[in-house]
Structures are given as structure tokens and as C-alpha cells.
Amino acid sequence: MVPNALGRMVPEEMDGKKLKPFMGAHADHGGGRKASPPIKAVPDYANKMRASLDEAIDACEIKDGMTVSFHHHLRNGDYVINMVVDKLAERGLKDLTLVPSALFPVHEPLIDHIKNGVISHIEGSMNGPVGRACSLGTMSKACILRSHGGRYRAIQDGDIHIDVAFIAAPAADYFGNCNGHSGPSACGVMGYALADSLYAEKTVVLTDNLQPFPVFPWVIKGGNVDHVCTVDKLGDPEKIISGTTRITRSPTRQLIAEYAARFVKDIGVLDEPDFTFQSGAGGISLAFLKYLGDIMRETGVVAKFARGGSNKYLVDMLEEGLIEYILDGQCFDLVGVKSLGENPRHLETDPFTSYCYHTKGNFAPMVKLGILGATEIDTDFNVNVNTHSDGWLLHGIGGFADVTDSQITMITAPLLRGRLPVITDSVTTITAPGEVIDVLITERGVAVNPAREDILARLKGSDLPVATIDEMRDMAVGLSGLPEKPEYEDRIVALIEWRDGTVIDTVRQLKPQE
Amino acid sequence: MSDSVQTRAGREGKKSDLAVQLTEKDAGGIKINVESSVGHMFGEQIEKTARETLESLGLENCEASIDDMGAFDYVIMARIEAAARRMREIDGPGCLPGRKVEYGPPRRERLRRTRLYMPGNNPDLMRNGGLFGADSVILDLEDSVSPGEKDAARLLVRNTLLTIDYFDCERIVRINPLSTEYGADDLEMVVPYGVDTILVPKCETAGDIKVVEEIIGGLEKKHSLGYEVLIMPLIETAKGILNAYEIGAASDRVVALCFGAEDFSADIGTERTKEGAESFTARSLLVLGAKAAGVQVIDTVFSDVQDEEGLIASTKEAMALGFEGKGVIHPAQIAPIHAVFSPTPKRIEYAKKVVAAIEKARSEGSGVATLGSKMIDAPIEARARKILRLAEALGLLEEETGGGS
């Protein structure tokens, strides 16, 4: 174990793999060469259609210890991951590495396959029940959590070698071209599956909506696909995306969103050319869009682009002309899906163009304002989105680490969630270092990272409740009291990887709690 | 022991609240079981707070089962005290949390454009009530609290006053009518602990105010408060409307008369409408009564939280009738109401010209000032000065004074 640049002790090797400690947000510049998938030829792919998922799986010749990957655009409606892993378990396979871009509560049945040794560990992302199982030490190897950009990088750089990629495709043709724009399981954007299709040994496309050739746009290109099969249903449409995303009704969260919008106005970024922003689909983010829209309308500002998570509110802004383009990473509601299919200014992106750190550039640093939520933030502005203050691993990183490359990264969060203060002296787990976090906006105050003297200077004269982060910590803890720290075993159950592949923190197994 | 006394208090499964069950024992000291959504982080602290509360209330042998949903200490204390008081008579002031907030004495003169109502038995809603910029907050012990919870809400409101910072908001508590069994106890529990103003519901006569004034005065003396708590009568019956002037003039402590449309409509036997035609005369009479008594006058709440246009129309009408504020049931209503009651730049500009013209005339020794072709008489001057005072209070004159830091 060695201390990384943030003083967290991290291993130099784990399960036989050499690891690099985190050195700083932009310290590591890569090097070496990308992974190389096998060379194939046309004559072997005369017919890719398989009669069933079983046939497709058998054609892949999966063996113990292999790595299989999935994407998460079907979110909590996804049937595919459980369906495929059940079939792998039926075949008696063991010790598989699962590489999903995210997991949801619907994937709770995986826990049995983890306990039975079908799955040895997970690299990518975990949410909810599977994360909880990980915290209890259920997996035989340490998991690795990566951001969306980090997952692309790891596949591209060869840190993960995918043997078989399973791609759930809401619309596909017999050749394997596919996208998420239409069909009963339409999910809109499907970019998270791109790296899998480019670098896997074998790629299987599953669809419940087989269309005549050519399905276009071919977000996933048939030339990268080995097998195509149909299944009854890819997922539950009602849970794939919400019918409508809803602005928070909590007055406190609305107040946070209003402060965030006033912050944007007061620091003057709207007066500069080329305004751009990225905001998620959480309740505070949506309310922020509403307030930001009001200010943009008043001041006549038009954003060059907005990074989505698309949703009704962002699409409304696009259609009203407040945004020139949506560069979309995933659709959060039906309005987003419809707009992606119809509006030429609503563009589909993937983690290579938007997030991957080992490229010759991506969109993330072009974004002026990134608005993000957090579970915890400490007085050094380090942020945790992975574990709760009681030590449970409950969330993936998502795009969080990648969005922090924005020119101004804003964290919006309630200062107190019930009794839990969001500010701590030292976060339970570091997802992103304080050096990339610029301001915390809560219902009781706005704290700017003291390293951003420029922002502090621009906030002079603002009537926002500006305070130091220490003052805000005292405000919160004064009411709540200091929480007790969780107790851990020695064993590391998960590594948190920074965007560049270095280890920024670890998650330890929780001591059994009564 | 099967016949031991058992009591409960609090709200089970509600955010930032807890349910506590207290069982009296003959011996064995204090035993505490804590189940909590934040147990791993605050379990020990919850137990400590519970133990200290029971000890200070003199319950030496008992068992407390706590089912907590992230309540803060002052809430835990209030709930345990409620359960204890339901078990036996407690002498003395009870178990007070250490005072976390300090305020100056109540201020008679202040803006009362918005008064945000919050249910007095809901710690989650009361905690952030001071953040939304309302001129006043109302911690309500009356209509939003069921009869069986009056005792518990009273303790929670007391502890909230001692703990939660409401910044510049006027801290109002709406008590139950003195004609009920709750009213006097409400006063005893809140007057000494940092309330600015008592909102007295269902006021019908000057006598109602005299009774309240006497009890408040006695409590101020007993607790050596050194300042006077204010009174805001809520008029919501025909009789109250017809006695508005006497009620407004009944005590120096009265700062404003408020209208309650829901009870009023019921009292005169009609339905309340959005437009409020049924209460038009009553509201006009209330304005007259308040003005004659030299106090402020505040309109009722607008009940449809979703209808912002309706709220703005209703506020404009209230302002036109002479009201100086409205009740608010959701923070989203605050900004639209403030916008209506704030003087427009045009009106401020005109008021400045009026005052400048008058001052110029006076400095020249002339008794008569004119602006353009219009003569400025005393009422015009008074209105202009009032607008400028309001603009100053709202920080709308900043440019002029070169203020801002």
C-alpha cells in the first residue's frame, strides 16, 4: 500500500494486476498503445442471425474466467443482463468478470450468481443491492469502479479485455447495425455500448425489434458485430425511461436550484461568449434548468450547446432556441427520445467523443458549467458519490468524474439530508479530488473552493449567502452533531479509479452490523 | 409488570421525526432501545440525548423504545418529553435544549408582506422555514395540529424556537383560541422562548385580546423577559369583522389585523371562491378597522399553490384594497407576492421627484410645491415618502446611496 496524491492508501497490485496511485487530476498523460481486437474477414460473416439467444451464446464459446460486458441504456427496465447471466450460469460457467456500464435495483438477482461463483467480480459500475453485496465482501475479487469515460478508456487501453459484449438493441437489422431510437424498448442514445463493440473479441446484438437493412443511424456498426438474435422483450418500457421527468417539489431543493442559477448569473459567465453547460436529470438539476432558462430568456443569452442527459426541460430549451445543440449521452424521458430521433440539433454522443481522457480531445473541457450532485464533500472539496456516510457502496460514478473537467464544476446538494450533513472533514470515499471541484451550493450557503480566486472575485457584490466551507460544515454539524465513522475490515472490496486509470481511493468491506 | 404505564409520542416513519414508546418501571434504571435510519452514524448520540432528557425530567426507572428517521436532538427531546408528560405530571419548565439562536426584542415596525405557515408538529417542514425569504414565519399550533397532538406540537415548537435560526424573519406562533383548553398552555410554552408575535385565531372582541395580553404580560414578568411580545389578531367571523377597530385598538401590542377567509366563509354560511366576492365587504371593513386603529392589515392565504397567475391577481387586489401582506402556504408563493408589494422603479422615481420638489419648495420658503403642472399636497407627499421608506427597506435605493460592499 502506498499513499496517493490525496494521502489515501492504495494498493500497488490487486488480484495480479499492477496499479498506479492517483497523482493529480491531470498528471498522467497515458502512453503505450491501444488494445487491438482480432482481425476478421467478411467470408466468415455471411449470416449473423442466430435462431435464439442460446445459439448466440453457444456460438461465442464462453469459458470459465472470461469477461462479458453490457450497457445500461435500458436502466431499471433492463431484462438482458439477468437473462444472459442466467444462461451463463445454466452452462455451469464460473469466475466470470462482469463489465456493465451501470447496474440498477432490477439486477439484484445477480447477487445469487455472485454467491455461487458464476461471477467473480464486477468492473464498471454498481448501484443499490449489488453494491451492498460488494460492501459485505460477497465477491471473490475486488471490483473496480470507473466513470463512463474511464470505462471507455479502460477498454480502449486494454485494462479490461472483453471476451463477449452483449448489446441490447431497441432497433437492429440482420447485419448488426443498431440504435436505440425506436421500437418497444426505445431508449434513445446508445453510446455506452460503443467501446464494447470496437474492442471485444466477440459481439452479440440482442433485439426485440428486428428491422430490414439498413437500420440507421448505425450507432453500433454491423461490421463490429458477430451474432444477432431476437428475444421476446429487452425490457420493461415503463422502467427503461420515465414517461416524464419531474422537477423537484421540495422547496429546499428548489431553493438550491435557484441559488445555483443566481450563482451562474452573478459570476458573469452568461456575459461571456460561447456559453455551454451540462446538467443531469435529478430533481435539483431540472429545477436549475427552469431557473437558468428564465435568466437566459431575460438576458437574451443562447447556449452554444448543452450536454445531456436529455429530458423534457432541456428539449424545451432547445426548441425555444435557448440552446443551439444538445449533445446527448443518454435520454432520461420519452421527450428526450423523441427529440433525438426528430431534431437535427439533438445529437447522439458516446463516451469517446464526450468523456474519454485518453483521446486527442473530448467535449468535457469545452463545457463552461457542469452541475453535479454529491453524497458527501469534505472541507478540501473532495467529493464522494459512491459510498454513503455509513460506508455502504451504493452508487456508481456515472459521468461524475468526467463532468468535473468542465471549466466551472458546481456541486448542488442539501447541506443536511435529514440529520446527515453533506460536508465532512474527510469524505468516506474520494470519487473526485477537490482540485476539480469549484463550488458547493446548498440551501444554507454557497462555498467557493479557495483555489478559485477568480470565482470569489466575481462573486463580490452578489447577495448570495457566500460562506467558507468550514463555516458551512460548522453550520451543519452544529445542528446534527458529528456522525460516528463506519467500521471496516481490512479487505478491499472495490477500487475507485480516476479517469486516467490511476487509483484514487479504495472501498473496504464493512464490519457486520447488527 | 403487566399493568405498568405505557405512553407514546411522535410520528412513526416520518422524515426528521421519531416515534417513542415509554414504559414505566419500578426499578432497573433507564433502558433505551434505538432503531434509526441513521443508527450507524448517530445511534450513540440518540441514546445519550434520550437518556439525558429522561433524567432531567426525573424519570429514573423506565424503558424507552425509539424508532427514529433522522430526527435532530431538539426533536428527540421534544418527543421524549411529550411521552413523559403523557405519563405523569412534570413540574418546572421541562427539558429545554440549550439556546442556539439569539435575537433582538420583537420589532413592531417591519414589513409583513408574507407570513409562511408551517405545521407545528412537523419538524421537517419547520427546520428550513427561514430560508425562503418570507417576512414572517408562522409555527402553527391550531388548524394544522390534531387535538391529540396539541401537547406534543407545543413542545416541538418551543424547542424549534430555541434551536432553529429564522434569520430576519418575524417568528410568529399561532396558538389555539383561549376559549379552548389548549390556548393558555400554548402561551405558557412559547412566550418565554423567543417568539416575536402571537397570532390569535378567531378573535371577535377587544376582550379576547385583553385576555391574551394579560397572560402574556404575566409570563413576561415571571420569566423576566425584558421586552414585550406582540399580538396579531386573526379575524375570521362576521362578529370579528364588525369589531375590527376595537380589536385593533385593544392593546399597544397589536401590530396587525389578519383575515381568515376559510372560517369566515363558513361563518356567514357560504362557500369560499377564488375571486373572494363573498368576503369583499368584510375585507374592506377590516382594512378600515385596522387603519383606524393605526395597525397593519394582512390578507388571507391563496390556497391553490399551482396557480401563480391567480395568486398574483389576488395579491394585486389585496394591495388595491389596502392590505399590506398575504398569508403564504408554500414557499413558492413568496416571490410573486413580494414582487407585487415591491414598488416599481417608475413609482420610486416619481416618489423621489415629489420629495425633491417639496424639499426644494421648503428650502425656498414656499409653502406650496408643484411637480409639472400638479400641486403636491400632504397626502401625495405622505404616499411618496412611504414608497421611499419601503424601497429603502427592500434595498431598492442602493444605487443612489452608492451602497453595496
Cell numbers found for residue B56: 432531567
Which structural domain range is residue B216 located in?
114-341
B105 assigned to some structural domain: no
Show the cell assigned to A300. Answer: 437574451
* B99 falls within a domain: no
**A442 and A469 part of one domain:** yes
Query: Same domain for B350 and B323?
Result: no
Please indicate, yes or no, whether residues A370 and A256 belong to a single structural domain of this protein. Answer: yes
Q: Which residues of B touch A481 (CB under 8 A)?
A: 42, 45, 73
* Whole-number Å distance between alpha carbons of A499 and A28: 10
> What CATH number does residue B296 fall under?
3.20.20.60
Domain that holds residue A188: 48-240
Which letter does DSSP use for residue B251 in this model?
Answer: -
Question: Which pLDDT score, from 0 to 100, does residue A27 have?
Answer: 95
Q: Using omega within 30 degrees of 0 as the cis cutoff, is the peptide bond preceding A191 cis?
A: no
Instruction: Dihedral sign for Cα A403, A30, A145, A423, please.
Output: negative
Assigned domain for A35 exists: no
Q: Is residue A214 part of a domain?
A: yes
Q: Is residue A176 part of a domain?
A: yes
Nearest to A331 by CA among A158, A448, A163, A180: A180
Task: Give the bridge partners for A2, in sequence order.
Answer: A10
* β pairing state of B114-119 and B326-328: parallel
In a domain, A230, yes or no: yes
Both A219 and A334 in a single domain? Answer: no
Average pLDDT over residues A285-304: 95
Task: Find where cell 487509483 sits.
Answer: A503
| Chain A contact set for B305 (CB, 8 A) | none
| A419 reaches B (C-beta below 8 A) | yes
- B405:A461 CB<8 A: yes
Residues of B in contact with A254 (CB under 8 A): 331-332
User: Both A171 and A216 in a single domain?
Assistant: yes
Would you put residue A77 in left (φ > 0), alpha (ψ -120 to 50) or beta?
A: alpha
Q: Give the nearest partner residue to A418 out of B43, B70, B73, using CB atoms.
A: B70
**Is A481 near chain B, with CB under 8 Å?**
yes
C-alpha B363/C-alpha B341 separation (Å) is 33
- Secondary element (H or E) of residue A338: helix A334-342
* B42/A419 touch (CB, cutoff 8 Å), yes or no: yes
CA distance A255 to chain B (A): 7
CA distance A481 to chain B (A): 8
Angle at B227 between CA B225 and CA B232, to 5 degrees: 115
B69 and B206 part of one domain = no
Residue A83 inside a domain? The answer is yes
Q: What is the mean pLDDT of chain A?
A: 95
Cβ–Cβ contact A443 with B under 8 A: yes
Residues of A in contact with B72 (CB under 8 A): 419, 479-480
User: In this structure, are B240 and B281 located in the same domain?
Assistant: yes
Check whether residue A262 and residue A406 sit in a common domain. yes
Per-residue confidence (pLDDT) for residue A487, from 0 to 100: 93
Dihedral angle over CA of A330, A335, A338, A342, nearest 10: -100
SS3 B274: coil
Residue A136 lies in a domain: yes
Residue B162 maps to a domain:
yes
Q: Which three three-digit cell numbers place residue A399?
A: 459521468
- Cα torsion angle, B176, B182, B188, B193, sign: negative
Final residue in a domain of this structure, among B314, B341, B368: B341
Evaluate whether A486 touches A390 at the Cβ level (below 8 Å).
Answer: yes
Residue numbers in A near B405 (CB within 8 A): 461
Together in a domain, B120 and B74: no
Taking the CA of residue B402 and the nearest CA in chain A, the distance in Å comes to 12
Which chain A residues have a beta carbon less than 8 Å from that of B41? 389-390, 419-420, 483-484, 486
- Asked if the C-beta of A479 comes within 8 angstroms of chain B's C-beta atoms, the answer is yes
B122 and B156 housed in the same domain: yes
The verdict on a CB contact (< 8 Å) between B100 and A481 is no
Q: Is some CB atom of chain B closer than 8 A to the CB atom of A418?
A: yes
How many whole angstroms separate alpha carbon A156 and alpha carbon A148? 12
Query: How far apart, in whole angstroms, are the C-alpha atoms of residue A284 and residue A287?
Result: 5
Option in B71, B128, B330 nearest A443 (CB): B128
* Mean predicted confidence (pLDDT) in A264-285: 92
CA of B49 vs chain A CAs: smallest distance (Å): 11
CATH number reported for the structural domain that contains residue B23 in this entry: 3.30.230.10
Per-residue pLDDT at A207: 98
What distance in Å separates residue A449's CA from the closest CA in chain B?
Answer: 21
Beta strands in B11-121 (DSSP E): 18-24, 30-36, 62-68, 114-119
Residue A291 CB: number of other CB atoms within 10 A? 18
Cβ <8 Å between A418 and B45: no
Half-sphere exposure (Cβ direction) of B207: Cα atoms closer than 13 Å: 4
* A486 touches B at CB < 8 Å: yes
Q: Does A135 touch chain B (CB under 8 A)?
A: no
- Considering the domain boundaries, does residue B195 fall inside one? yes
Of A252, A255, A486, the CB nearest to B40: A486
B131·A255 Cβ contact <8 A: yes
Q: Do B41 and A389 touch (CB under 8 A)?
A: yes
Distance CA B280, CA B300 (A): 12
Cα separation, A166 vs A234, whole angstroms: 12
The answer to whether the CB atoms of B71 and A484 lie below 8 A apart is: no
Q: Examine the domain organization and report whether B187 and B335 are in the same domain.
A: yes
**Residue of B38, B73, B114 to mutate when probing chain A, most A C-beta within 10 A:** B38
- Among the partner-chain residues B73, B332, B404, the one whose CB lies closest to the CB of A251 is B332
ipTM of the complex: 0.89
Q: Is A390 on the interface with B (CB under 8 A)?
A: yes
For residue range A329-354, list pLDDT tens digits in order. 999 999 999 999 999 999 999 999 99
On the CB side of B221, CA atoms within 13 Å amount to 6
Contact flag B405-A486 (C-beta cutoff 8 Å): no
Residue A167: partners with Cβ closer than 8 Å, 6 or more residues away: A71, A178, A193, A196, A197, A203, A204, A205, A206, A220, A225
Q: Domain boundary residue among B315, B341, B367?
A: B341
The answer to whether the CB atoms of B128 and A390 lie below 8 A apart is no
Q: Which residues of A touch B45 (CB under 8 A)?
A: 481, 484
Minimal CA separation from B69 to chain A, in Å: 8
d(CA A22, CA A497): 8
Q: Which of A72, A74, A68, A73 is nearest to A98 (CA)?
A: A68
Within B109-174, residue ranges assigned H as helices are 123-127, 150-163
Inside any domain, residue B379: yes
Which of B73, B163, B405 is closest, CB to CB, to A481?
Answer: B73
Q: Given B41, B132, B163, which is nearest A390 (Cβ)?
A: B41
**Cell 469515460 identifies what position?**
A149
A137 and A228 together in one domain: yes
Print the SS3 string covering B330-367.
CHHHHHHHHHHHCCCHHHHHHHHHHHHHHHHHHHCCCC
Return per-residue pLDDT of chain B as tens, 405 residues. 445 899 999 999 999 999 999 999 999 999 999 999 999 999 999 999 999 999 999 999 999 999 999 999 999 999 999 999 999 999 888 999 999 998 899 999 999 999 999 999 999 999 999 999 999 999 999 999 999 999 999 999 999 999 999 999 999 999 999 999 999 999 999 999 999 999 999 999 999 999 999 999 999 999 999 999 999 999 999 999 999 999 999 999 999 999 999 999 999 999 999 888 899 999 999 999 999 999 999 999 999 999 999 999 999 999 999 999 999 999 999 999 999 998 888 889 889 999 888 888 888 888 778 888 888 888 888 889 888 888 888 888 865 443 333
Q: How far apart, in whole angstroms, are the C-alpha atoms of residue A348 and residue A186?
A: 14
What pLDDT is recorded for position A282?
Answer: 82
Number of domains, chain A? 2
The reply to whether residue A419 touches residue B70, judged by beta carbons under 8 angstroms, is yes
Taking CB atoms and an 8 Å cut-off, how many pairs form between chains A and B?
62
Closest CA–CA distance from residue B256 to any residue of chain A (Å): 28
Per residue in A145-195, pLDDT (tens digit) is 999 999 999 999 999 999 999 999 999 999 999 999 999 999 999 999 999
A323: closest CA among B6, B333, A339, A331? Answer: A339
A2-16, A125-139, A421-435: range with lowest mean pLDDT: A125-139
Per-position DSSP letters for A378-405, written without gaps between them: ETT--EE-SB-TTS-B----TTHHHHTT
- What is the rounded CA–CA span in Å between residue B74 and residue A457? 39
CA distances for A163 relative to A60, A62, A66, A154, B342, angstroms: 9, 8, 6, 14, 67
Cross-sheet strand order for the sheet of A164-169: A227-230, A202-207, A164-169, A67-70, A96-100, A119-124, A143-145, A488-497, A503-510
Task: Determine the pLDDT at residue B402.
Answer: 39
Q: Strands, E, within A193-265: which ranges? A: 202-207, 227-230
Per-residue burial over B259-298, b = 16 or more CB atoms within 10 Å of its CB, e = otherwise: bbbebbbebeeeebeeebebbeebbebbbebbbebebbbb
Q: Is the same domain home to A261 and A210?
A: no
Same domain? For B179 and B235 the reply is yes
End position of a domain, from candidates A240, A268, A296: A240
- On whether residue B104 sits in a domain, the answer given is no
The answer on B322 and B257 residing in a single domain is yes
Residue A502 covered by a domain: no
Cell of A158: 486494454
- Residue B290 maps to a domain: yes
Is B42 close to A484, i.e. CB distance below 8 A? yes
Residue A313 CB neighbour total at 10 angstroms: 25
Kindly report the length of chain A: 514
Residues B133, B243 within the same domain: yes
Lowest mean pLDDT among A35-39, A127-131, B170-174, B317-321: A127-131
- Kindly state whether residues A262 and A223 are assigned to the same domain: no
> How far is the CA of B138 from the CAs of A114, B103, B141, B390, B394, in angstroms?
54, 16, 9, 23, 21
B19: β partners = B10, B67
B41, B128, B331 member nearest A420 (Cβ): B41
Do the Cβ atoms of A483 and B73 come within 8 Å?
Answer: no
Beta strands per DSSP E along B28-85? 30-36, 62-68
Angle, to 10 degrees, between the axis of helix B334-341 and the axis of helix B308-321?
40
Select the residue of A251, A416, A483 nearest B132 (Cβ to Cβ). Answer: A251
Shared domain for B222 and B295, answered yes or no, is yes
Contact between A418 and B15 using a beta-carbon 8 Å cutoff: yes
Please name the residues in contact with A346: beta carbons below 8 A apart, sequence gap of 6 or more. A310, A315, A318, A325, A326, A328, A339, A340
| Pair (B289, B351) in one structural domain | no
- Chain B residues whose CB is inside 8 A of the A461 CB are 404-405
C-alpha cell, B355: 420629495
The closest CB to that of A483, out of B42, B71, B128, belongs to B42
Residue A331 DSSP label: B
The answer to whether A206 touches A168, Cβ cutoff 8 Å, is yes
Residue A119, pLDDT above cutoff 50: yes
E strands, B102-225, in order: 114-119, 136-140, 170-174, 197-200
pLDDT interval class at A244 (50, 70, 90): low
Q: How far is it between the farthest Cα atoms of chain B?
A: 92
- What are the CA-CA distances from residue A280 to residues A153, A370, A454, B14 (Å)? 22, 9, 26, 28
Domains of chain B: total = 3
What would the mean pLDDT of A230-249 be, rounded to a whole number?
Answer: 86
Q: Is residue A347 part of a domain?
A: yes
Percent of chain A whose predicted confidence (pLDDT) is above 90: 94
Query: Distance between CA A37 and CA A29 in Å, rounded?
Result: 23
Query: Using a CB-CB distance cutoff of 8 angstroms, which residues of chain A are in contact with residue B15?
Result: 418
CB contact under 8 A, A252 and B131: yes
Residues A264 and A408 in one domain: yes
Interface test with B, best of A246, A390, A419, A463 (most B CBs within 10 A): A419
Rounded to an integer, what distance in angstroms lies between the CA atom of residue A265 and that of residue A267?
6
How close is the nearest chain A Cα to the Cα of B234, in Å? 27
Q: What is the pLDDT of residue B313?
A: 96
Q: Is A302 on the interface with B (CB under 8 A)?
A: no
Answer yes or no: do A256 and A233 share one domain. Answer: no
> B368 and B308 in one domain?
no
Q: Is residue B95 part of a domain?
A: no
Closest CB to A252 among B44, B100, B128 = B128
Chain A residues close to B131, C-beta within 8 Å: 252, 255, 443-444
Residues A62, A158: one domain? yes
Same-domain status, A203 and A341: no
Residue A122's CATH number: 3.40.1080.10
